[in-house]
């Protein structure tokens, strides 16, 4: 199952395609990581999918990453007397902190956090931005607004407040229960929704305590304003363009996508581009040319991974969706312009031994035409730093920790392998050569680059670069 590309594919599992046969076909088509969306489905459903994936690891003899996506707070209006109303541009419309049924002039909004943040002149977006209200007057339990964009509004539609930071934790009671369950299962990554501030990431990292990687979903303007603090604290980032596109003008989303990817490249943190990448393939066997271009742009920009949501969770063509995404990535990465852009975007190494070694490994591999860079790391940090360099040769990430091996699957260019720990330099060199040869990365007579840290097993100790010949 050696991949011929560097960027990875995340496929969401749902009720439509969750059998062992279906998931196996997704892996064969190109899926590297599977997303379990905890906004939907019972714990038992997710456990069954988890067990299937872990069983398929044995079948395919390769680590497979599992990402649990927490739901986060869901801000919604209440119910209406006739289930739905029609709002007209220019009409006054009142929101109240109540559970009473609404009508054409008033809506229940059972979220005191929203009222506490509202100020005159702010906008409220309802139903994924289809309806826009402008606040004229607000108090602790009401808001008088004017309809800017009207339309039909029905029960329990979502509410967004793009210009405010709500005094609301990113983790709800449901999220705490789901998080505990996911950690007990053994998921590899946890995607945190509704991130507004770096403190939201700090909160979940204290709970996770290193048992999984934390991926912050950037879907709110306030998160963009605190981008560097959030990137620094997170283990990975997701550009959640669906929700981000509701709260930002459409023309801003591509700009912010590039900005986020660039920040992650500099920090050496994996970044995922998500939402509606091949949306038409939910019901069509081929994507639009615009969608193919969208996937390609994310790869040209330097994303570590691209994600499929409804396309594989409930779509009619899940296997085809993964396969075409695989083809697009492969085609882009063969383009000479891609390598030129990737090299141009490379940042200056930080003043650390790990960065110096990683940068030297890339340069040495290119200078002597080595076939692969082998990174031996107990924590995965060395391998992540090598991936940050975006070398022109594959990265073979060796680790004795299966949890780290699964986590590294997400990183750009990394072919992750769990192997037994080593006790000395000679053993490490011999193991690196044997695995590179066995996995098809090098042939007899080829040169490989090995990076590691001595003494072995200590995190943050990258201090060796060695050139080895395959015999």
Q: What angle do CA 322, 325, 330 make, to 5 degrees?
A: 125
Task: Identify whether 217 is a catalytic site residue.
Answer: yes
Question: Mind giving me the DSSP string for 78-112?
Answer: --BTTSEEEE-TT-EEEEESS-S-B-SSEEE---H
Strands 189-192, 213-218: parallel, antiparallel or unpaired by DSSP? parallel
In three-state secondary structure terms, 201 is helix
Active site residue: 47, 48, 76, 258, which one?
76
DSSP track, 204-259: HHHHHTTSSEEEEEE-SHHHHHTHHHHHHH-SEEEEEHHHHHHHS-TTHHHHHHHH
Which tokens sit at 40?
A: 């939907």
What token pair was written down for 142?
């009401």
Asked about 5 being catalytic, the answer comes back as no
At 140 the three-state DSSP class reads coil
Cα separation of 381 and 400, whole Å?
A: 13
Report how far residue 217's alpha carbon sits from residue 195's, in angstroms, rounded to the nearest whole number: 7
Place of tokens 């201090």: 463
Residues pairing with 452 in the sheet: 464
**Which secondary-structure segment (H or E) carries 75?**
none
d(C-alpha 467, C-alpha 287), whole Å: 44
Task: Tell me how far apart the alpha carbons of residues 393 and 391 are, in angstroms, rounded to a whole number.
Answer: 5
Catalytic one of 49, 62, 217, 362: 217
Element containing residue 277 per DSSP (H, E): none
How many CB atoms sit inside 10 A of residue 335's CB? 13
| Rounded distance between C-alpha atoms, residue 170 and residue 168, angstroms | 6
* Active-site choice (3, 5, 8, 35): 35
Q: Which of 275, 364, 383, 399 is catalytic?
A: 275
Bridge partners of residue 274, in order along the sequence: 240
Retrieve residue 229's tokens: 């603090």
Annotation says 35 is catalytic: yes
Instruction: Give the active site residues.
Output: 35, 76, 217, 275
């Amino acid at each position: 199952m050696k991949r011929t590309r560097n960027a990875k594919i995340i496929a969401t599992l749902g009720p439509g395609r969750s059998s062992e046969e279906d998931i196996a076909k997704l892996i064969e088509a190109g899926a590297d990581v599977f997303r379990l969306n905890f906004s939907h489905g019972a714990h038992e459903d997710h456990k069954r999918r988890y067990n299937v994936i872990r069983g398929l690891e044995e079948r395919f003899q390769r680590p497979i990453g599992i990402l649990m996506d927490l739901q986060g707070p869901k801000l919604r209006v209440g119910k209406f007397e006739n289930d739905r109303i029609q709002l007209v541009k220019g009409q006054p419309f009142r929101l109240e902190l109540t559970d009473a049924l609404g009508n054409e002039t008033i809506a229940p909004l059972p979220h005191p956090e929203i009222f506490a943040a509202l100020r005159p002149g702010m906008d409220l977006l309802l139903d994924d931005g289809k309806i826009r209200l402008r606040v004229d007057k607000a108090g602790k339990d009401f808001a008088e607004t004017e309809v800017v964009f009207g339309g039909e509004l029905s029960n329990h539609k979502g509410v967004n407040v793009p210009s405010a930071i709500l005094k609301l934790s990113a983790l709800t009671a449901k999220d705490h229960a789901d998080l505990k369950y996911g950690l007990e299962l053994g998921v590899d990554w946890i995607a945190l929704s509704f991130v507004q501030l770096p403190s939201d990431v700090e909160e979940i990292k204290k709970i996770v305590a290193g048992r999984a990687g934390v991926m912050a979903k950037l879907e709110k303007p306030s998160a963009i304003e605190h981008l560097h603090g959030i990137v620094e604290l997170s283990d990975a980032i997701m550009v959640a363009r669906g929700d981000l596109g509701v709260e930002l003008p459409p023309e801003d989303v591509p700009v912010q996508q590039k900005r986020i990817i660039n920040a992650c490249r500099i920090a050496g943190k994996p970044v995922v581009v998500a939402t509606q990448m091949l949306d038409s393939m939910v019901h069509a066997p081929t994507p639009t040319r615009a969608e193919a271009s969208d996937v390609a742009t994310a790869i040209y920009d330097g994303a570590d991974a691209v994600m499929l949501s409804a396309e594989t969770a409930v779509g009619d063509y899940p296997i085809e969706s993964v396969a075409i995404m695989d083809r697009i990535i492969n085609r882009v990465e063969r383009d000479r312009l891609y390598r030129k852009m990737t090299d141009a975007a490379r940042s200056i190494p930080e003043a650390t031994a790990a960065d110096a070694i990683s940068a030297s490994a890339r340069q040495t591999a290119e200078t002597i035409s080595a076939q692969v860079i082998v990174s031996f790391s107990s924590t995965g940090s060395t391998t992540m730093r090598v991936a940050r360099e975006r070398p022109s040769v594959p990265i073979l990430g060796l680790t004795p920790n299966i949890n780290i091996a699964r986590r590294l699957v997400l990183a750009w260019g990394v072919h992750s392998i769990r192997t037994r720990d080593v006790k000395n330099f000679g053993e490490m060199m011999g193991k690196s050569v044997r695995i590179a040869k066995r996995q098809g990365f090098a042939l007899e007579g080829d040169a490989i680059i090995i990076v590691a840290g001595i003494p072995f097993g200590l995190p943050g100790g990258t201090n060796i670069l060695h050139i080895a010949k395959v015999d």
